[in-house]
Amino acid sequence: MKPSARLPLFTIGMIAINVFAVCVAVIQFLDIYDSLENSRLNYTEAAHGLDIIGDMQYQTQEARRTLLYALATDDSNLQVMHADQSRAADAEVAGLLDQYEGLMAGVREGAAVEKLSQDWARFLILRDELITTMLEGDARTAVARDQKEGVPAFNAVRMDLEMMKSLLKQNAGELLERAGSFQHALLRMAFLLGTLAVIAGVSVVMVQSRSKVDTLRASEARLKEDFERVRAEEHAIAELLSAVLRAATEYSIIGTDPDGFISVFNRGAQLLLGYEGEEVLEVFKPDAFHDPVEIAARAAVLGMAPGFDVLVAAAREGEAETREWTYVRKDGSRVPVTVTVTAMRDPEGVLLGFIAIAADISARLHADAELRELHEKLLLTSRQAGMAEVATGVLHNVGNVLNSVNVSGNLINERLRASKVADLARVARFIDEHRADFAGFVTRDPRGVMIPELVSRVSAALLAERDALVSEVECVTKNIGHIKEIVSMQQSFARMGGHVEMKSVESLIEDAVQINSASLTRHHIKIVKEYEPVPDVLIDTHKVLQILVNLIRNAKQALESTDPEARRIVLRIARKGDKIIVIQVKDTGMGIEPGNLKHIFSQGFTTKKNGHGFGLHSGALAAQEMGGTLRADSPGPGKGAVFTLEIPVTLPPPVTGLRNAGDTVSEPALAA
């Protein structure tokens, strides 16, 4: 009976053991099942992450591709459109990065995302600078910079995405391994639960494994599809770059490997140098196209042997170098060029080769030579014009004085013709005829009685004529002296300038009026003087007199066509602060058109029928040379005009360089 007693105990024990085992197995099963579910969720997230990475690869390629489209076209509208498309793709990438950051499962993925964000930000900064340069009209510079910096920057972004994809694939593989381990554990535990449990467990696991395998295969298919798409896009970008190189016919673009052998020889290089691509690719180095004398000279400066390294010495150190060289074409002809050489490196800094962009500067050098020749001609013309201007100034100023001399000469001539000397000769004839009985003739003859009175009258008239003639002769002498001063001033202008002395402003105005007095009297012009007390000035008296004579003469001419009763010139002297004296010449003449005021001091500008436009221009220059200003104002036609001369109390240092041909006097300089 013991066996039978032990059987239940054994059975119970076995049952208990089985129950315990089943409980343990169930607990383990549940733990393993939970771990398996977590692995499945992580794997699903990994698969979703791969999808996001694929989308990011597409959008980054889209941003890059539209940028290249913008650089490859000359149409500004298309450039703006492609630039907007590139920025739109940039926004998509930003959204995808935010999604991916929520799926980061480890430090490696977080570091990869951070590196991608930094590299992508650098690329976007460069892209925006390239777009700005392109939209400013300098597409060639943008293309060259894209070749130098854009390609490496985008390659860094692409490698970041590949690294993130590789990490996700690695995580997915680890998840698959863990899932397999969990499945084996479930199988072992299922055998403890019995055949049915094993069969049921195996069936469940197989169904789940099948689903996971299908998911993995689908993810692998998507990854393969994304990989093929990226390869196709890279091929398209390469083709686009080739098209850009082929289209850049105005620039020679030569690329080399690190050893200097030519690997890129665009259409512009072929046109410039006369070689076909197959003649030079992987055969020549760029120094073969350079003037050997220039290469040797540059090598001596750098302290190295002549050869290819002379051209890339700066580029090897990380600096882009632009220098003028002489290319020797295939036919032996020579062409001057500017060449910019840069190094091409991968994201790790490994040297990939060099690129040289050259532009023909023959036209620029020819234009520079023509400009130098034109400059020499202009200098010669300027000197000749300067001589003519000085001569014109002398003639104009002398002409002003000669007008007064001519008037005085006419007055002297008229007075001599109307002289009472003829009456005196008649008296002498009477005396001579009656010399024998002169006393009786004077006392008895009616004609003789009149002789004493006639002699008295003739004497008085002759004295008056003498005084008038002496006055006119003094005026002529003074004017001739002024002419001599004009000529003397122009002869000594380059040495000592004019005659500087302390002078009364009132006396200068009176001298100017006196020079014009005969003409003013003849035209019945009234002079009104409004003088304020002002100190004497240390000034070039001849220049001031030259200006005032011309202003009074112009005012007289402006009054010739007006009513004689209204002809008036007002001369004013006033102070402006402690250092400036103001002299005004105001007339009631024909006035000045508003449009002519801004040109009135320009050389050659005149509104007179017989004028030459030099007087006011010369006067303005003279005022400026003395540190003063000359300004014109007029209410309008028929309302008169006022010219204002401002001069310093003390003459400033001489102003040089104002008498060359072509000198102009700006309105601000005159009216400051």
Report pLDDT digits (tens) over 424-438.
666 677 677 776 776
What does DSSP assign to residue 288? G
The tally of CA atoms less than 13 A away on the side-chain side of residue 640 is 12
CB 354 within 8 A of CB 259: no
Domains and CATH numbers, the chain: 3-219 (1.20.120.30), 257-360 (3.30.450.20), 377-477 (no CATH), 498-664 (3.30.565.10)
Output 633 or 436, whichever has higher pLDDT: 633
Q: Which of 79-83, 228-232, 303-307 has the lowest mean pLDDT?
A: 228-232
User: Can you give the pLDDT at residue 327?
Assistant: 94
pLDDT digits (tens, 9 = 90+) for 384-427: 554 554 455 556 556 666 776 777 777 777 766 666 566 666 66
First to last CA, the chain: 140
pLDDT of 116 reads 82
pLDDT value of position 176: 67
**Cα separations (Å) of 397 from 142, 221, 558?**
62, 100, 18
One DSSP character per residue, 602-664 reads STT---STT--S-HHHHHHHHHHHTT-EEEEE-SSTTS-EEEEEEEESB--SPP-S-SSTT--
Higher pLDDT, 487 or 474: 474
CB proximity list for 61: less than 8 A, separation 6 or greater: 230, 233, 234, 237
Q: Which DSSP symbol is given to 261?
A: -
Quick check: 645 and 622 in contact, CB under 8 A?
no
pLDDT tens by residue, 241-264: 566 555 567 788 898 999 999 988
Which residues on neighbouring strands pair with residue 633, listed in sequence order? Answer: 642
> What long-range pairs does 80-88 form, CB within 8 A, spacing at least 24?
80/135, 83/131, 83/134, 83/135, 86/62, 86/127, 86/131, 87/63
What is the pLDDT of the chain when averaged over all its residues?
A: 77
**Token digits of residue 197:** 């449990």
Least confident of 34-48, 380-394, 538-552: 380-394
Task: Using a pLDDT cut of 90, give the percent of the chain over it.
Answer: 18
Q: What is the SS3 assignment for 294?
A: helix
Q: What integer pLDDT is reported at residue 461 of this predicted model? A: 73
Phi, psi (rounded to 5 degrees) for 571: -110, 125
Q: Answer for the pair 327, 280: CB distance below 8 angstroms, yes or no.
A: no
Q: Can you name the residues that pair with 575 across neighbouring β-strands? A: 581
Q: Angle formed by the axes of helices 505-522 and 451-491, to 10°?
A: 120
User: Which backbone phi and psi does 647 adopt, to 5 degrees?
Assistant: -130, 150
Say which DSSP state 307 is in: S
Q: Running DSSP on this structure, what letter comes out for residue 149? A: I
Which residues make beta-bridge pairs with 647? Answer: 581
Q: What are phi and psi of 330, to 5 degrees?
A: -60, -35
pLDDT tens-digit readout, 259-312: 999 988 888 888 889 999 889 888 899 999 999 999 999 999 999 999 999 999
Q: What pLDDT, on the 0 to 100 scale, is given for residue 190? A: 63
pLDDT at 6 over 60: no
Coil, strand or helix: which one is 584? strand
What pLDDT does residue 376 have?
74
Distance CA 581, CA 532 (A): 10
pLDDT score of 331 more than 80? yes
Q: Residue 32 in contact with residue 181, Cβ under 8 Å?
A: no
The mean pLDDT of 179-185, rounded to a whole number, is 65
Question: What is the model's pLDDT at position 75?
Answer: 85
Spatial distance between the Cα atoms of 392 and 387, rounded to a whole number of angstroms: 9
Give the Cα separation of 173 and 153 in Å (integer): 31
What's the CA gap between 254 and 358, in Å, rounded? Answer: 8
Instruction: Identify the CA nearest to 616 among candidates 551, 541, 572.
Output: 551
Cα separation, 573 vs 512, in Å, equals 14
Q: How confident is the model at residue 382 (pLDDT cuts 50, 70, 90)?
A: very low
pLDDT at residue 168, as a whole number: 73
Q: Give yes or no for a contact between 49 and 168, defined as CB atoms under 8 angstroms apart.
A: yes
Tokens describing residue 406: 């001519």
Report how far residue 608's alpha carbon sits from residue 592's, in angstroms, rounded to the nearest whole number: 12
Q: Give me the mean pLDDT over the 580-602 stretch.
A: 89
Q: What is the DSSP letter of 147?
A: I
Average pLDDT over residues 119-143: 87
Smallest CA-to-CA distance from 339 within 267, 249, 269 is with 269
Cβ neighbours of residue 172 closer than 8 Å, sequence gap 6 or more = 43, 46, 47, 50, 216, 219
Question: 233 falls in which pLDDT band (50, 70, 90)?
Answer: low
Q: Is 181 helix (H, G, I), strand (E, B) or coil?
A: helix
Tell me how far apart the alpha carbons of residues 109 and 490 are, in angstroms, rounded to a whole number. 89
Residue 640 confidence class, pLDDT cut points 50, 70, 90: very high
| pLDDT score of 664 more than 60 | no
Q: How far is the CA of 174 from the CAs of 106, 396, 476, 665, in angstroms? A: 13, 105, 121, 87
Q: Judge whether 70 and 87 are in contact, CB under 8 Å.
A: no
Q: What band does 194 get if pLDDT is binned at 50, 70 and 90? A: low
Are 146 and 71 a contacting pair, CB within 8 Å? Answer: yes
pTM assigned to the model: 0.33
- Sign, CA dihedral 549-552-558-562, equals negative
| pLDDT at position 201 | 46
Alpha-carbon Rg of the chain, whole angstroms? Answer: 53
* CA 295 from centroid of its chain's CA atoms: 35
Mean pLDDT of 60-71: 86
Written as one letter, the residue type at 462 is L
Answer yes or no: are the C-beta atoms of 291 and 334 closer than 8 Å.
Answer: yes
Which pLDDT score, from 0 to 100, does residue 536 have?
Answer: 92
pLDDT of residue 662: 39
Residue type present at position 587: D
Least confident of 63-72, 322-331, 409-418, 576-585: 409-418
Q: Tell how strand 526-531 and strand 568-576 pair up.
A: parallel
What b/e sequence results for 141-157 when a residue is b if at least 16 CB atoms lie within 10 Å of its CB, and e otherwise? ebbbbbbbbbbbbbebb
> Cα-Cα-Cα-Cα dihedral of 570, 576, 581, 586, to 10°?
-20
What is the Cα–Cα distance from 1 to 7, expressed in whole angstroms?
A: 10
Q: What percent of the chain has pLDDT over 70?
A: 71
Condensed to tens digits (0 to 9), the pLDDT of residues 497-537 reads 456 888 899 999 998 888 888 778 888 899 999 999 999 99
